[in-house]
Chains A and B, each alone.
Chain A
Amino acid sequence: MTMQPASFSGGWTGFHVNGDGATANATIADLTSILDTVEVPIVVLRRDLTMAGFNRTAADVLGLLLSDIGRVSRDIPAFAGSPRLEQLCREAITGGVESRVDFRDEDTWFVVRISPYARGSGQVTGAVLTFTDVTAFRASIDQAIYERECTKAILNTVAEPLVVLSADQRIQSGNRAFYTMFGVSRDDTQESSLYELGNGAFDHAPLRRQIRKMLAGSHVFQPIEVDHVVTAQGERTLILDSSPLSFPGHSERRVLVTFQDITARKQAEAAKDLRSEEELRRSEAVLAWGQRLSSTGSFSWKVASGEVRWSEQLYRIYEVEPGTPMTLDVMRARVHPEDLSLLEKTAEQARDGMNDFEWQYRLLMPDRSIKYLHTVAHATRDQDGQPEYIAAVQDVTVRRESEEALAKARSDLATVTRVATLGVLTASIAHEVNQPLSGIITNAGTCLRMLDASPPNLEGARDTARRTIRDGNRASDVIARLRALFRQDELTLESLDLNEVTREVVTLSLSDLRRNRVALQWELAEDLPAVTADRIQLQQVISNLLRNASDAMADVHDRPRHVLIRTEPEDRDRVRVSVRDAGVGVDPQNMKKLLDAFFTTKSDGMGIGLSISRSIIERHHGRLWAEPNDGPGATFSFSIPSDPAMLPDTPPQWGYS
């Protein structure tokens, strides 16, 4: 409203006060003064709606002028735009009805109370209008309405259903999502119980208890997952959460309940669980099949706790009921008796030092069949940092058997070749010797006949005798050539570690020995001096001694077929290699003949091996000998000087013990 000068005071006309004039005037003056101090605009209209008077505040606030007195209200600018006010004033004057009306003067809102004004006689002579400024009040209500609308909009925009419960746990209001979710209208649910919703899904004790506590003042609510809630979209799984709604000065508490639909998440999780379960199951199946196809089992072994876990395939390999707790004892029952000490030793070593290891051993199955296993173990640590072995165990029986069959075939072939070679050699020797022998016999016969003739043909006899001698020499030459054949021409000398040479031979002979069920042990001296010798030839000798030892035990069935191969320094400058068997031994009578060529006690031997061995050792200025053991079997040994070149060129030594 426009500013009015502060000095402007209200204007009053036509007031009549009973009593004498002076007193009345004084009274009127007092009253108008009092009215002027009231901060509420007061306006008085006459019956004809002309302005009768107004107080000072009305002049200030509504911009009334003294000149407005006597004017019809609609002509007064402040009231000009308010026909409703005029109407109500008329009704008050004519009907004596008091009323209220909102009235706006520019930015200021008033509630105008319109009261009929009556003089003492009771006849209504006008209307009194009192203006109460409600601008601030209205603004706050507007604000409240605005806030409420905003909140409503927000709540309705929120996708999550919400509902407010009253103190008696009845539904007061929900947001749009709430009504949509449950497929109900506001009216349907007003004052209904939460526990009737969703086909009674929420009606369970923990939820009731928590909401009751919250209404009683608690601020704590443990979200509750509720399954099988019947909603407009079918059965859902919801998580209910709640928080208290309380207002200062309001004793009534309400609670807000929110519903979070986790059905999709649950389904996804379930699907994922199912999927990962399926994936796990599949990869386990693949692993199991892989293990099965490759005949490879696996196990883990927590060293500290002794906990052992076996794969299904490993149980299958061991032919033990899957799930049987695996202990060393269970393994012991299967491991081949001859490999038991190896098992113990390996287990001990594995326990002592956490190193990767690899070992081969055999199983003796209940049906007496043998399985060959190859184990590769990796030392690692489990989740708790404890030492653990992870191992793969492969059943190499088939491979092993085919290897052995191959080795046997190879060895058989070698034997055949050897025999065939020897056969050819023998035939050739026979041919070479038979030719001169034939000459000798024929000539000798001819010679005899010539001498027996009469007269004796002495000249012819001499010739034939000479030819006999010549043929005898021819035969002798043949034998000399044969000797040369057995002797190799050149020694290829190099500095050798006899232990290494021995190991090489052992490696090459292992499959042969194994096939003949020979258990080989070796004791190789650590301080063995190097020798200057021909590697290949010494290998032939050692190999020959090993084969002899193995052959000597072919018919041994009542005791282990042990062979001990040993290297040791002898004297100061010699090295000895001995091979001790547990075979049939050597008859002392034969001991001496043993090393002669073509002497053999073997049914399938040619008796050449030891002879060749001896000639090789002799060429190394060494000696080869045999001696009976205290127990069963014999020991064949040779010793050679570490450096033959340092020796005087002595004739070969022949030694027999």
Chain B
Amino acid sequence: MTGNPSLVSVVDDDESVRESLPDLLRLFGFAAEAFSSAEAFLESDVVDETSCLLLDIAMPGMSGPDLQQELKRRRHTIPIVFITAHGDGALRPALLAHGAVECLFKPFSEAALLDAVKTALRRPDYPPAGAT
């Protein structure tokens, strides 16, 4: 990988996820930012720079799918990988149908995480505007 590493943003209300995931992502060679809520992410200045969004589904306030809708509305086409502690596989097809790249069920393995992020970064509509 050359140049600036792709930015992977993590949005999750669970602190241990926010603490552990960015470290691992950086070890994978990505840049990583963590946000405790969807609102915090939207208000940040990294929305345009984010190449992949690791997004929790169930959060207080705006949920993961809500954020997905909001980004669509704002014409941001950030590839999204959902991460959830609710081991409900039934949600997965609906999420994928709405454009998610993947849905990971916590706890997930490093390999599954890396696969999902790589898949997201290979998306045809990637790189998003602003990325080099």
Binding site for B on A (CB under 8 A): 427, 430-432, 434-443, 445-446, 449-450, 453, 460, 464, 467, 470-471, 474
Contacting residues, chain A, for B16 (C-beta < 8 A):
435-436, 438-439, 442-443, 467, 470-471, 474
Interface pairs (8), CB distance under 8 Å = A432-B85, A435-B85, A438-B14, A441-B107, A442-B21, A443-B19, A445-B24, A464-B23
A237 vs chain B, min Cβ distance (A): 97
Contacting residues, chain B, for A471 (C-beta < 8 A):
16, 20
Centre residue among A430, A434, A449, A453 by max chain B CB count within 10 A: A434
A362 to B37 CA separation, bound complex (whole angstroms): 66
Instruction: Decide yes or no: A446 and B106 within 8 Å by CB, A439-B14, A439-B17 being known contacts.
Output: no
Query: Are A438 and B110 in contact, with the CB atoms below 8 A?
Result: no
Contacting residues, chain A, for B86 (C-beta < 8 A):
427, 430-431, 434
A50 vs chain B, min Cβ distance (A): 168
Known: A430-B85, A431-B86, A464-B20. 15 other contacts (CB 8 A): A427-B88, A430-B86, A430-B87, A432-B85, A434-B105, A434-B106, A434-B107, A435-B16, A435-B106, A437-B106, A439-B19, A443-B23, A450-B27, A464-B23, A470-B16
Centre residue among A441, A460, A464 by max chain B CB count within 10 A: A441
Contacting residues, chain B, for A470 (C-beta < 8 A):
16
A443 to B20 CA separation, bound complex (whole angstroms): 5
Query: Are B27 and A438 in contact, with the CB atoms below 8 A?
Result: no
Contacting residues, chain A, for B24 (C-beta < 8 A):
442, 445-446, 449
A431 vs chain B, min Cβ distance (A): 4
A140 to B95 CA separation, bound complex (whole angstroms): 143
The SS class assigned to the B binding surface is mixed
B108 at the A/B interface (Cβ < 8 Å)? Answer: yes
The 4 closest A-B pairs by CB, nearest first: A439-B16, A438-B106, A442-B20, A434-B85
B109 at the A/B interface (Cβ < 8 Å)? Answer: yes
The SS class assigned to the A binding surface is helix
Centre residue among A441, A442, A446, A453 by max chain B CB count within 10 A: A442
A430 to B88 CA separation, bound complex (whole angstroms): 10
**Count of CB-CB pairs between chains A and B under 8 Å:** 75
Interchain CB contact (< 8 A) of A441 among B23, B83, B85, B109: B109
Query: Are A446 and B20 in contact, with the CB atoms below 8 A?
Result: yes
Contacting residues, chain B, for A439 (C-beta < 8 A):
14, 16-17, 19-20
Q: Which residue of A lies closest to B58 (CB)?
A: A431
Q: Which residue of B lies closest to A445 (CB)?
A: B110
Query: Are B85 and A446 in contact, with the CB atoms below 8 A?
Result: no
Contacting residues, chain A, for B107 (C-beta < 8 A):
434, 437-438, 440-442
Query: Are A435 and B27 in contact, with the CB atoms below 8 A?
Result: no
Contacting residues, chain A, for B109 (C-beta < 8 A):
441, 445
Contacting residues, chain B, for A449 (C-beta < 8 A):
24, 27
B28 vs chain A, min Cβ distance (A): 9
A617 to B14 CA separation, bound complex (whole angstroms): 38
Q: Mark B16-47, 1 if CB is under 8 A from A, else 0.
A: 11011101100100000000000000000000
Q: Which residue of B lies closest to A470 (CB)?
A: B16
Q: Which residue of B lies closest to A457 (CB)?
A: B27
A471 vs chain B, min Cβ distance (A): 5
Contacting residues, chain B, for A438 (C-beta < 8 A):
14, 16-17, 20, 83, 85, 106-108
Query: Are A460 and B23 in contact, with the CB atoms below 8 A?
Result: yes
Q: Which residue of B lies closest to A437 (CB)?
A: B107
Contacting residues, chain A, for B88 (C-beta < 8 A):
427
Contacting residues, chain A, for B106 (C-beta < 8 A):
434-435, 437-438
A343 to B58 CA separation, bound complex (whole angstroms): 63
A437 to B21 CA separation, bound complex (whole angstroms): 13
A651 to B21 CA separation, bound complex (whole angstroms): 44
Q: Mark B74-111, 1 if CB is under 8 A from A, else 0.
A: 00000000010111100000000000000001111110
Q: Which residue of A lies closest to B16 (CB)?
A: A439
Q: Which residue of A lies closest to B106 (CB)?
A: A438
A466 vs chain B, min Cβ distance (A): 10
Contacting residues, chain A, for B113 (C-beta < 8 A):
442
Query: Are B87 and A434 in contact, with the CB atoms below 8 A?
Result: yes
Q: Which residue of A lies closest to B28 (CB)?
A: A449
A536 vs chain B, min Cβ distance (A): 33
A233 to B113 CA separation, bound complex (whole angstroms): 123
B57 vs chain A, min Cβ distance (A): 11
Interchain CB contact (< 8 A) of B27 among A434, A437, A441, A446: A446
Q: Which residue of B lies closest to A433 (CB)?
A: B85
Contacting residues, chain B, for A432 (C-beta < 8 A):
85
Contacting residues, chain A, for B85 (C-beta < 8 A):
430-432, 434-435, 438
B13 vs chain A, min Cβ distance (A): 10
A432 to B16 CA separation, bound complex (whole angstroms): 12
B37 vs chain A, min Cβ distance (A): 16
A424 vs chain B, min Cβ distance (A): 11
Contacting residues, chain B, for A464 (C-beta < 8 A):
20, 23
Instruction: Decide yes or no: A467 and B20 within 8 Å by CB, A446-B27, A449-B27 being known contacts.
Output: yes
Centre residue among B16, B21, B24, B27 by max chain A CB count within 10 A: B16
A449 to B110 CA separation, bound complex (whole angstroms): 11
Q: Which residue of B lies closest to A428 (CB)?
A: B86
A427 to B87 CA separation, bound complex (whole angstroms): 8
A174 to B84 CA separation, bound complex (whole angstroms): 126
